[in-house]
Amino acid sequence: MQSQPSSGNQGQNFYLIAFNDHTIQAATAYKVEGDQIHWITREGQEMQAPLASVDIRYSQQINRDRHVDFRIP
């Protein structure tokens, strides 16, 4: 699981995962297993969704804009 993103900005210690339905989820950690993405919310709840439901390009962009390294294999 990717955890605790490295960032130049304090307080940016989470990832943003954008979905095709225009929602965005904050995650303290995430991993991709097969065709599923799994993540831990800032409240500590474990979540998962089909990887196909993630807007990967937008997720990468909004994390890059925050200086957070977000990678989907």
Question: For residue range 5-39, what is the model confidence (pLDDT) as tens digits?
Answer: 544 444 568 999 999 999 999 999 999 999 999 99
CA distance 30 to 33: 10
Tell me the domain boundaries of the chain.
2-65
Domain 2-65 has CATH 2.30.30: yes
Question: For residue range 40-56, what is the model confidence (pLDDT) as tens digits?
Answer: 999 999 999 999 999 99
Q: What percentage of residues in the chain have a pLDDT greater than 70? A: 85
Q: Give 4's pLDDT tier (boundaries 50, 70, 90).
A: low
> Given a cut of 70, is residue 73 above it in pLDDT?
yes
pLDDT at 18: 98
Q: Classify 39 as helix, strand or coil.
A: strand
